[in-house]
Structure 1
Amino acid sequence: MRSFASFPMAGVVHVLTNTAHGRKTMRKWIALCIAVGCALAASVLQAQTWPQRPVRVIVPYSAGGLSDTQARVISERLSAAFGQQFLVENRVGATGAIAAEYVAKSPADGYTLFWATTPQVSIVPLIQKVNYDPLKDFAPVSIFGKNTYVLAVHISIPAKTLKEFIEYVRAHPGQLSYSSAGTGSAGHLSAALFTSRAGLTMTHIPYKGVQAATDLVGGQVQMYFGPAADLIQHSKSGKIRLLAVSGGKRAPILPDLPTIEEFYPGFRADTWNGLMAPAATPKRIIDRIAQEVARATRDPGVIERLNKIGVEAYANTPAEFAALIRSEAPQWRDAVNAAGIKQE
């Protein structure tokens, strides 16, 4: 058996412990190692015993909206699964940037989660300066739902299909307009990307919120990209026509509508809602939440509740969520460029 003195570090230890300065240095190293070890042990213990108090879910939109409704559905499920309350807290402002920044700067202990949506992660940082990095400041947990956007036109447009609509707009360059819920909104960027890919010239008219859909129904504008649930209700009035969906596959709620990607390969402009945590949150906590989200999206009751608001129940792993965010970046950058938006 080799003696201690024969190991490479033995000489270093001997030198350090053979002088007063060396012994002092050695004590510092030992104290540091103990501190690091204790911190690691505390982190592991925290992850194992989490949650011991209510968890806040920070939502970047007002109560009662599409995103808020989804957040409350999953919060109910997580509360039941973990035996602690998951409390929805609405922090509105700056297109969700205020909520995102708040969570990014919160303790990474699993007690503050961000109800993230596509705009805060992939769009807002491209069009305005924000005090957070969507890739570095958050740990993706899981998506909970995919929001289907629908291309709708006013009934006065003599087009029954997307192909006919494209031909009609080309025959009337610059004479038609489309509405959105605001400059830089997902609906605006979806429409801008579509008109760019199709080579169409249309005028964008930004609104604030639901008035964008109301004026489509009234005929003040001719096209609008909006959430499926809202437009399905409006289509029942017979004043608008639904032509296509913006996702990568046909929507379960509207199986007969084609995707725009069927005409323009690579076109995708659907959005998602999901949970993210501050970047340094223990992986064990993140994985536990992700597992419960996945379980919830397989529940028939949850699926039905989401379908009623035009949302597809969907979950992925933290790694898949992170990969999705990276893969979507180019498409939203193209959409911002197509809309001619410059960062503020």
Structure 2
Amino acid sequence: MLTEIQTFTMTPLRSAALAGVAFALLATTIPAKAQETDWPTRTVTVVVPFAAGGNTDIMARVASQKLAEDLKQPFVVENRAGAGGAIAANYVLQAAPDGYTIFFAAAPQIAVLPHVQKVNYDPIKDFTPVSAFGTGPFILAISSENPAKTVAEFVASAKGKKLNYASGGTGSVSHLSGALFVARSGIDCAHIPYKGGAPAMTALLGGQVDMYFGNAADIIPFVDSGKARIIAVAADKRMSQLPDVPTVSETYPDFSLSSWNGFLVSSKTPKAIVDKLAKYAIAAAKDPAVVDKLHKLGVEANGTTPAEIAAQIAREQPQFDLAIKAADLKQAQ
């Protein structure tokens, strides 16, 4: 009888205790779940490491507009140019790692800058790659006054001469592409850096330099007008916009310096936010209207996962290392 009474009175107590445990467990999961579903609840700042108007800036604005539409919160682009992108990178890392300050980076901030000068960040340990949004291959242009139609013809005509090549700045992908080409081809060609792609292109058109690796957006308009000629693309495969133009790799194998742009965040950012940003960034890059806008810039839309962009960064680093060596840039100590 006593056993029956004990059983009767203890069962509700056990039930209450179990209910308390269940509630406690539920309470601990609520913040993470809310974080996953609620972010963003206010304005997100997208930090661009270059001045307004360039390819990176334009891509950041295209991406930000789409993210704002889909996530129902403002995504505001903030340009923080200087020190090759180190200023922007440090700014992002100094902000709270809560997903409200994100980095729309370019390959040089990860693959080049930390290897040629002292910076206050570790590109691998301090940042989490989220998604590559678009890749704009650099294309090799020469003056239309030069009769060469192919890489082989250009190199043959350059033998025994002293030439110059332009870039959008020391340490830029433009510079590294030119340096690697000079090293692989064996021509005598000096580097002339300019403050951006537009003045570099102007120098090519004016005859101050003999060749220039630049963005398609900087070069194609002048090709269409007959003032310049494209002889190769520094990419793994031919561009859909220029299907008849061969890659440099067709003459010099394994010649490709990817000029990707995409989202990175502080490595301290919660995974739930990283995953959600990646999900929407991937969707944005695959949106037909966005793909069309990027195509007109000479940019291939990507939309890679965090794992894919991390693997891409690791895979491409050896090629950047070769280009850094070819450019004789001082390695960071």
TM > 0.5? yes
For each residue in 1:294-339, what CA deviation from the matched residue of structure 2 results, as whole angstroms up to 9, or x when unmatched? 2222222111111121211111110011111111111111101101
Amino acid of the residue matched to residue 181 of structure 1?
Answer: G
Q: Counterpart in 2 of 1:291? A: 279
Q: Tell me the residue number matched to 2:236.
A: 248
One of 246, 261, 268 as aligned partner of 2:256: 268
**1:100 paired to 2:62:** no
Pairing partner for 1:131 from 120, 123, 128: 120
Q: Alignment length, in residue pairs?
A: 308
- Contact 1:139/1:279, CA 8 A, preserved across alignment: yes
Distance 1:203 1:45 in 2: 57
2:201 paired with 1:201 = no
Matches within 5 A, 1:1-344: 42-170=31-159, 172-173=160-161, 175-209=162-196, 210-343=198-331
After alignment, is 45-54 or 261-270 more displaced?
A: 45-54
Write the letter of the residue equivalent to 1:68: D
Read off the aligned partner of 2:56 and give its amino acid letter.
S
Deviation at 1:39, TM superposition (A): 8.1
Structure 2: gaps spanning 5 or more residues: 1-25
Q: Could you state the TM-score of these two structures normalised by the residue count of structure 1?
A: 0.85
Q: CA deviation at 1:251?
A: 0.8
Distance in 2, Cα, partners of 1:76 & 1:39: 35
Unpaired runs of 5+ residues, structure 1, are 1-36
Matched to 1:191, the amino acid is G
Give the structure-2-normalised TM-score.
0.88
Distance of 2:263 and 2:101 partners within structure 1: 10
> Identity over the aligned pairs, expressed in percent?
49
User: Given that residues 136 and 300 in structure 2 are in contact (C-alpha distance below 8 angstroms), is that contact kept between their aligned partners in structure 1?
Assistant: yes
User: Superposition RMSD on alpha carbons, in Å?
Assistant: 2.0
1:43–1:282 CA contact under 8 A, matched in 2: no
Query: Over residues 223-280 of structure 1, what are the superposed CA-to-partner deviations in whole Å (9 max), with x where a residue is unaligned?
Result: 0000011110111232221000001111111111111111222111130100011102
1:199 partner amino acid: G
